[in-house]
Amino acid sequence: MKKVQQHYDEVADIYDDRYDGHRGKYYHGHISDHVMRELPKGGYLLDLGCGTGLFVQRYVAEGGRAVGLDISPRMVQHGRQRCPECEFCVGTADILPFRDSTFDALASLLAFSYIPNPEGMLREAYRVLKPGGRIAVCTLSRTVFTSIVPVIYHIGEMVGLKKVGVGDFNEHYYTNAEIESLFREAGFEDLSVSRCSFAHLNLADPVFNLARKVEPIIEEKLPYLAYNVCAAGKKPED
Ligand SMILES: C[S@@+](CC[C@H](N)C(=O)[O-])C[C@H]1O[C@@H](n2cnc3c(N)ncnc32)[C@H](O)[C@@H]1O
């Protein structure tokens, strides 16, 4: 975990550049739309692996209150600047410094693949959610495309490439069945698991525009080609 933290501390100053251009904005916005539609609006949200606060900012702009937690102090520092009306804390997603039944909503975007103890994170998520509260996690899934990502990242680390996410971090990319079973074992009900994202921000414009056009078809008809998985559920009412 130390290595992931150091990496995100190092890239924190350039992290937002990734999502500033039109492709980055679209890519992150699309993931964020998927997560948002699974959560209650206007509630109290905890975002695990919140990074520079992109999602907490959106949740608050849509009428809620939010806390972001991240293992990287530098990412959290950027979050505080981006969203002074949100609360932030530095910590690991599998040991949460909050009382039982605190939050209405729990989100995690593009961070779950890093968590070495996903059962622990979901156990804690369950604990801090109120009965009836909802969780939505969007993370890289295991597909034909993502199976080569660790090799590319390994080479990137060897040649000293300083790019967001590039390095050997023992990331785990989930199948729908794996993430669904983790959610079920943690006690969540009313589960939904779907795939999202085909237009990746690293594609060149003409290819990106084409990928964006076919994205809804991919997500609906050929979901195994979409490379993020979104899992959502509810903590049972008392
Ligand atoms: C790709 S970034 C995503 C950030 C943000 N959720 C977003 O959508 O822009 C992954 C984030 O997960 C954080 N992270 C990784 N492992 C973590 C852990 N065990 N606990 C909390 N945060 C973690 C990293 O520090 C980083 O900020």
Rounded CA gap, 203 and 209, in Å? 9
Ligand 1 atom 27 nearest Cα: 51
Tokens standing for residue 227: 């490379």
Q: What was the pLDDT predicted at 166?
A: 72
Contact status, residue 107 vs residue 47, Cβ threshold 8 Å: yes
Q: Which residues line ligand 1 (CB under 6 A)?
A: 1, 4, 8, 48-51, 54-55, 70-72, 75, 92-93, 109-111, 114-115, 165
Q: What was the pLDDT predicted at 163?
A: 78
Please give the model's pTM, rounded to 2 decimal places: 0.93
- Give residue 217 CA to ligand 1 midpoint distance, Å: 29
Of 191, 196, 186, the closest CA to residue 218 belongs to 196
Q: What was the pLDDT predicted at 202?
A: 84
What is the position in ligand 1's atom list of the atom closest to the CA of 12?
Answer: 27
What is the span of the domain harbouring residue 30?
A: 2-234
- Give residue 12 CA to ligand 1 midpoint distance, Å: 11
Ligand 1 atom 16 nearest Cα: 114
Kind and range of the H or E run holding 106: strand 103-109
Of 101, 125, 108, 59, the closest CA to residue 229 belongs to 108
Contact status, residue 121 vs residue 94, Cβ threshold 8 Å: yes
- Give residue 224 CA to ligand 1 midpoint distance, Å: 24
- Give residue 189 CA to ligand 1 midpoint distance, Å: 25
Residue from 114, 119, 171, 201 whose mutation best tests the ligand 1 pocket (most atoms within 8 A of CB): 114
Geometric angle at alpha carbon 236, from 55 and 220, rounded to 5°: 55
Instruction: Per-residue pLDDT tens, the chain, 238 aa: give them.
Output: 798 999 999 999 999 998 888 899 999 999 999 999 999 999 999 999 999 999 999 999 999 999 999 999 999 999 999 999 999 999 999 999 999 999 999 999 999 999 999 999 999 999 999 999 999 999 999 887 777 777 777 777 777 777 777 777 889 999 999 999 999 999 999 999 999 998 888 888 889 999 999 999 999 999 989 989 999 999 999 8
Kind and range of the H or E run holding 87: strand 87-90
Ligand 1 atom 9 nearest Cα: 51
- Give residue 112 CA to ligand 1 midpoint distance, Å: 8
Geometric angle at alpha carbon 179, from 175 and 181, rounded to 5°: 115
Rounded CA gap, 111 and 94, in Å? 12
Rounded CA gap, 7 and 10, in Å? 5
- Give residue 50 CA to ligand 1 midpoint distance, Å: 6
- Give residue 109 CA to ligand 1 midpoint distance, Å: 8
HEC states along 157-225? HHCCCCCCCCCCCCCCCECHHHHHHHHHHHCCEEEEEEEECCCCCCCCHHHHHHHHHHHHHHHHHCHHH
CATH code, 37: 3.40.50.150
Contact status, residue 76 vs residue 70, Cβ threshold 8 Å: yes
**Parallel, antiparallel, or unpaired for β 228-234 and 129-140?**
antiparallel
Kind and range of the H or E run holding 142: none
Total domains, the chain: 1
